[in-house]
Chain A
C-alpha cells in the first residue's frame, strides 16, 4: 500500500469508531482529538483495528506517532508498504 491507500484505511477505521463525525474536512496535519471526539478508548480502537486487519503490534511508546493523520500514515508506511490493498 502507498500513503494514499493507508490514509484511506485509517479513514475507514475512523468512520467506524466515530460514526457521528463528519470527517470530510479532516486536516491531516492537526491532531485527531482537536478535530473530533476521540477519547483514549476510541484511540485504542484504532490500534485494535490495525492489529486485527494487518496483525500490526503497535507498542504503547509509539502511540504519539498516531496523533495526526499525517503522522499515522508516515508511521505505518514502512509496516504496510508490502501489504496489498484490500487485505
Chain B
C-alpha cells in the first residue's frame, strides 16, 4: 500500500466517509434529547427504542430507517421479528422520531442511504429482538412458575407444554426485570422469516392510497406556500414587485426568503397561480454565464493539462504499460442528472408557543429537526420531527432546502405552512448527480492479463456540497461562519490534497492488476451536487466496463471469459460472472438481438447483468435483462428481486435518456417531456438470479444500477460496431 493510500484510508476512518456515502462521524451529543420520542399507549411496555408491547399483544416496531421504496420497513421488521418470534405482518410499524438510539450503526447519524440499512442493522436489530424475547421469557417463567428452559416462543406467544400465552400478558412483570444484553441469537438454519418471501408490509397501504407521504400532511389552519427561485443556482433575489401576487384570490403573504420569494395562500392552487404572476429579478453570479459546452471544455482542458490529486498509486503503471501487448485508451462521459423522485420535495412546518413540528419524508429526519431549529431559533428539544413515507428519494431526500424554506415561511407568516415544489422546481432547482469525464489507459497481454490501469476522472465533488447542506442541519447550534469555514476546508482538501472517494469509487477496483494509478481533477461550476442512486458507481462502471470490453477485444477474448481471467483476486465477483456466463450460454437471442454483458461491485454487493438489445435505425431497445446478484443473505428475496428490477429501470432511464443541459447557468430541461423516464412500453423483462452465499447481508438498493449502462453499450457494440462512450447512449 502506498503512503497516499494509507493516508486516504486513515482519513476515511477518522471522518467516517465510507464507500460513496458521506457520513459525519462527529459526536451527536446535544443534538437529541435522551427521552425516547415514543407515544406511550395505556400500559404499553417499551423495553428499548425499537419496540412497544401492549397488554393486548399489539406490537409496535419503531423503524429507525426511512422507507423510500427500498423495502426497509419489511427488511428491518423481519430482522427484529425473527429473534422476537413475531411475524412482521403482525407488527404495527411506525417511523421513529429523532433519537440517537435510531442512528444508522454504519454512519453514527440518523440517516438512510448508501444501501446500508440491512447490513448495518443485521446484528443490532436481531440482538434487540433476542434480548426482548429473553426478557419476556424471564417474565413468563416468573409468572407461570416454570423454568425458562421449559419455555419456547412462537408468533408472539410464550409456549409452555403446548399451551400458548400472548407476550402482552407478561409485560407488567417484564417491566420490573432487567433485560438480557446478549441473549443468544438463532443460527441461520433456525430462521423462520429471514430468507422467506411475503408481501411487503407497506403494500396494502400503498395499494389503497392510504400510505401517508409528506405531501399528504394536512393540519388545522394549514396554508400553502409556493416559492419562486432563481433558475441559476446560488443567485439571490435582487428585487420583486409583490403586489402582482398579493392581489390574487386566497393569497395571504408574499415573503422574501433565503432561496427566493414565497407566496402563501389558503390553497395550493391559489399559491401556485399567484406565484406565476411574480416577475422576480435575480442577481448574476459566475454560473450565470456557463453553458454545457463551457463545462465540457473546462473538463477537457483539465483532462489534458492537469494531473490533479493522486487517489491510488500501486505498482509501476509505466512498466505495466510497457509490458503490454496492446494498449487501449479512451474517454468516457456522463452528464449531470436529476433524481426526479415522483413525489416532489415538500415539508409541513408548524410553529406554536415556542415549539415546532415538522413533517417531511426525508433520508434523515434528524436533519429536518436541526434545520427547523436553526431557522426558527427554537431549541432542538422543542422541535418534533415526524417522518413519513418517501415518494422516492434516490439520494435526493438527504438535501432538505425545502425544510429551510417552509421554516422561514412559517416564521415570517406566523401560519402552519405546507410548502410544495413543482416538477419544474425539482428538475431545475435541485441537487444533481455530477457530470464526469473519465479517461482510462490500460494494457493487456495476449494471454488476457491486464498489465496496467491508469484512470483519471474530472468533475465536481459530492462531499463538500453535501457537507454544505448537511452541516447546518446536523449542527443547528454551529454558526454560519464555522460551517462556511469547514465546507471551504473540505473543498480545498478535495481539490488539492486528497480525492473525494465518491468521485472515483468503482473506477479501478474490480479487476486484477498490480499496476494502477487513479488521479482526480476537481472542476466545479457551483452546481449543487449530491448522491444519486449508486453515487460514483453510476458513472465509473460505464468507463470501467467499457474499457474492459475494449481490452478483451484487443486480447482476442470473449468479454465474459476475459473478466473471469482478471478476477482471481475477487472471488465473489468472479463467481457472479461465472454464473452469468453459464446462464448466457443457454440464451439464444432472436434474430436481430444481441447480448451485452457487464459486472460491477458496489456497496459490497456483486452484480452481473446481461442485456438483450436490438438497434433499429437510431433506436436502442432493451428487451430483456438478466441480473445475477450476490448480496449475502437475502433477508427477503422478493424485495431483492424488486430492487434489482427497479435499479435496472432507473439505470436504463439514465443510459437511454438522462441528460441535463446548462444554458446561461440554468438547466434547460423542466418536466418529463424533456427529461423522460422509462415507460412501461420501453421496459425490458427482468430476470433476477440471487446467489445464496449465506454471508451477512450487503447492499441491495443501489448495486443493480451500475452494470446496466455498460451492458447495453456492450450489446450496442455487438449490434452496430459502434463503441458508445457517452451517456446517454446515442447511435451515431
Same complex origin of A and B: no
Q: Could you tell me which A residues sit within 8 Å of B by CB distance? A: none
